[in-house]
Amino acid sequence: MEISSATADSPPPPAGGPATEARTKSATRPGDRVFLAFSRGSGILLLVIMAAIAVFLTVRATSALSKNEGNFFTTFEWTANGTPPVFGIAVLAFGTVVSSVIAMLIAVPVAIGIALFISHYAPRRLAAPLSYVIDLLAAVPSIVYGLWGALFLVPHLGGLYSWFDDYLGWTGILAYHDGAARSLFTIGILLAIMILPIVTSVSREVFLQTPKMNEEAALALGATRWEVIRMAVLPFGRSGVISASMLGLGRALGETMAVATVLSPGFEIGKSLLDPGGGTFAQNIASSFKESGEIGKDALIASGLVLFVLTLLVNGAARLIIARRKEYTA
Amino acid sequence: MAKRIDVSGLSAFYGAHKAIDDISMTVEPRSVTAFIGPSGCGKSTFLRTLNRMHEVTPGGRVEGKVMLDDENLYGPGVDPVSVRRTVGMVFQRPNPFPTMSIYENVAAGIRLNGDRVRKSDMDAIVERSLQGANLWKEVKDRLNKPGAGLSGGQQQRLCIARAIAVEPQVLLMDEPCSALDPISTLAIEDLIGELKERFTIVIVTHNMQQAARVSDRTAFFNLAGVGRPGKLIEIDDTERIFSNPSVQATEDYISGRFG
C-alpha cells in the first residue's frame, strides 16, 4: 500500500492543486510545447514562402501581360523588349513538354531496368559499387552535362539521326536535314541522361523494400525470377516508381543550363524533332534575362509562372494515379 | 495426386554454418506429418529443403537426397521452379499478393504456368480451390476485392486456396496458425483434416496440442546446443510420440520438462 501510493504520486503535484489536475496539465511539457511551436512554425513558413512566390509571380506577370500586343498562348514570337512588346509561350511550352516527354520515354524504362538489376539480379559485390556510381552521377552539376552535351553528344549524334531519317524519316517528325544536332531530340537525350540517376536511385530503394514474404509467396508458387518481379516487386513498387518519375520529370521540366548550352534557340516549331531550334521555359529565361528591360523581365516571369503551374499539374496528375490504386497497396 | 517423400542423408547450410545434420525420414502420402521441436532446431529449414526454397536464402546450400516417389528433387538438371510447382507451400504469416484481388490471388499460380486457360475454366478452378479452402461462402460475392482486405484467418485460407489451385503433390505448411486467433486456427485445422484426403501434408508447429490434433505422424527435432546443427530425434505415429516415445528427450520436451 505504501509503495503503490508513492508511485502514483511520483510526479509531485504543484502546491494547492489536486493530483488529477496535475496529471492533465503534465500533457503539455515544455519540450512538447517548444517542438510543437517549431514544427507548426516550419509548416506555416513553407506556406508563406509558397504564397509569396505565387503573389510575386502573378503581380509581375500581370503587368507584362497587360502590355502584350500578341496572344500570350499562341504567338510564335518573343520580342518582349520591342515597341510594342509581342511575346507568346507556344514555342516554349511545346519545347519544354516535348523534350521532357522524350527524356521520360528514354530514362524511365532504363532506370527501372538498372534499379531491378541492382536490387534483384546483380551479385552483392557488384550492386554496392554500382549504386554508388549512380548516386554520384546525380551529384554532377547540370552545366557539366551541358558542356558534355555540346562538345561530345552534338557532334556524335549525326549518325544516329541519319539512321532515323533512313528508316523513320517518312513520319516527318523524325526527318533529319543534316546540320548540327542541336535539336529538341538531342535535348531529350541529354535530359534523359540527367534524370536517370534520380529515377534509378529512388526506384531501387522502393524495389529493395518489397516484403520478403510477398517474394517468397511467388517463388513458392513456382515463379521464375522475372515472374517474381512481375507478381511481387513491380506491383509493390508501382507508386514509388511513379513518384520517382515525377521527381525526374520535375528536374527535366526545369532544367536550364544544360539546355541553354546545347540548344540553338529559335522561335519556331520545326516539322521534325531533329530540326535545330525551339526553346524551353527555363532555357529562354536564362538566355534572355540579362539583356531584358523592365517589360522583358516581367514577360519572362509570366513564362515562369506557366512553368510553375505546369509542374503543379504534373504532380497533381501523379497523385491521382497513385490514389486511384490505393485500395490495393498494403 | 499425392506422392511419398523419402529423405536420406540431408544436411542444410547457411554459408559455413550447418543448420541441420544428416536427416533421413519418410513422409507417407495422403497423411499429415507434423514437425515439432524447440526454436532454432531447424524444422522450418528442413521444411524449406523439401521444395527447394532453402537455397533462395543467400548462402543457403543443401546436401543429400529428397525423393518424391522416384524423382530426386536435388538431382542434376532438376529445375527448382518446377519442383515448387509440384510442392506447394503455406507460410507462417498470411501473404496474399497485396496488389491482387481475391480471384487473381487464387489464379496467380495457374497464370504462372503460362497455359492459356479459358475464363470459364479459370472461374471453375478458382471456385473449386476456394471451396477446398473453406473460403468460398465467405468471399463469393467479393472476388474482385483486394485479398489484403480479408481477416488474418481468411487471408491464410486464401493462401491455402492459392497453393492448392495448381494441384500440387505435396503441401508444406510452416506454422500456418501461429499468427491466427483460436477460432481461425480451428478452421485451418479442420481444413487440414479435409486436405489430407488429396495431398501429402507436412506441417511445422510450435503448438503440441495442434500436432496431436491434426497429424498422423510426428517428427521431433532437437539441437545439442546453440550454434550446433539440428537433428531429427525420432519420427513415429503421433499417438505413440505423445504417449510412449522411444527417446527420453522427446518425452521431456512433450511433457514440458525442457524446451
pTM of the model: 0.82
Whether the CB of B98 is below 8 Å from some CB of chain A: the reply is: yes
Say yes or no to pLDDT of B115 above 80: no
- The C-alpha atoms of residue A329 and residue A106 are separated, in whole angstroms, by 27
Contact yes or no for B81 and A213 at CB 8 A: no
Q: Considering only residues 231 to 250 of chain A, which have any Cβ-Cβ distance to chain B shorter than 8 Å? A: 231-232, 235-236, 238
SS3 of A36, please? helix
Tell me if B73 sits within 8 A of B66, measured CB to CB: yes
Contact yes or no for B166 and A222 at CB 8 A: yes
Span B48-67, average pLDDT? 92
Beta strand spans in B71-175 (E): 71-72, 87-90, 170-174
Tell me if B48 sits within 8 A of B14, measured CB to CB: no
- The C-alpha atoms of residue B70 and residue B80 are separated, in whole angstroms, by 16
Whether the CB of B146 is below 8 Å from some CB of chain A: the reply is: yes
* Neighbour-count burial of B137, counting CB atoms closer than 10 A to its CB (0-12 exposed, 13-18 middle, 19+ buried): exposed
Whether the CB of A224 is below 8 Å from some CB of chain B: the reply is: yes
- The C-alpha atoms of residue B63 and residue B44 are separated, in whole angstroms, by 16
Measure CA A77 to chain center: 28
Give the type of residue at B150: L
Whether the CB of B128 is below 8 Å from some CB of chain A: the reply is: no
Contact yes or no for A217 and B159 at CB 8 A: yes
For domain B5-96+170-254, the question of CATH label 3.30.70.360 is answered with: no
Least confident of A14-23, A149-158, B59-68, B188-197: A14-23
- The C-alpha atoms of residue A305 and residue A57 are separated, in whole angstroms, by 6
Say yes or no to pLDDT of B85 above 60: yes
Contact yes or no for A328 and B56 at CB 8 A: no
Provide φ and ψ at A27, rounded to 5°: -65, -30
| Domain definitions of chain B by residue range | 5-96+170-254
At A173, is the pLDDT very low, low, confident or very high (cuts 50, 70, 90)?
Answer: confident
Distances in whole angstroms, Cα of residue A33 to Cα of each of A14, A28, A239, B240, B246 = 19, 6, 36, 66, 67
Say yes or no to pLDDT of A273 above 90: no
SS3 of B87, please? strand
Q: What is the DSSP string of A8-32?
A: HT-SPPPTTS-HHHHHHHTTS-HHH
Instruction: Tell me the per-residue pLDDT of A38-63, one tens digit each, with 9 for 90 and over.
Output: 999 999 999 999 999 889 989 999 99
Residue labelled with grid coordinates 557532334? A155
Say yes or no to pLDDT of A5 above 80: no
How many CA atoms are closer than 13 Å to the CA of A313, on its beta-carbon side?
8
Span B45-57, average pLDDT? 93
- The C-alpha atoms of residue A305 and residue A60 are separated, in whole angstroms, by 10
Measure CA A270 to chain center: 26
Say yes or no to pLDDT of B68 above 60: yes
Say yes or no to pLDDT of B23 above 50: yes
Compute the CA torsion angle A18, A24, A30, A32 (nearest 10 deg): 170
Whether the CB of B187 is below 8 Å from some CB of chain A: the reply is: no
Which pLDDT does position B258 carry in this prediction?
65
Tell me if A311 sits within 8 A of A254, measured CB to CB: yes
Q: Which three cell numbers stand for residue A226?
A: 522475372
Which pLDDT does position B223 carry in this prediction?
87
Give the type of residue at A231: M
Contact yes or no for A216 and B162 at CB 8 A: no
Instruction: Tell me the per-residue pLDDT of A204-214, one tens digit each, with 9 for 90 and over.
Output: 999 999 999 99
Whether the CB of A320 is below 8 Å from some CB of chain B: the reply is: no
Q: Which domains does chain A have, with CATH numbers?
A: 78-328 (1.10.3720.10)
Tell me if A189 sits within 8 A of A154, measured CB to CB: no
Kindly report the average pLDDT of chain A as a whole number.
86
Instruction: Tell me the per-residue pLDDT of B187-233, one tens digit each, with 9 for 90 and over.
Output: 899 999 999 999 999 999 998 999 999 999 999 999 888 778 999 99
Say yes or no to pLDDT of B257 above 80: no
- The C-alpha atoms of residue A274 and residue A181 are separated, in whole angstroms, by 7
Instruction: Tell me the per-residue pLDDT of B117-172, one tens digit each, with 9 for 90 and over.
Output: 889 999 999 999 999 899 999 999 999 999 888 999 999 999 999 999 998 999 99
Query: Which residue from B100, B112, B146 is facing A221, i.e. has the nearest CB?
Result: B112
Q: Which residues contact A230 (CB under 8 A, 6 or more apart)?
A: none
Which pLDDT does position A177 carry in this prediction?
79
Q: Closest approach of chain A CAs to the CA of B4, in angstroms?
A: 19
Residue labelled with grid coordinates 484426403? B197
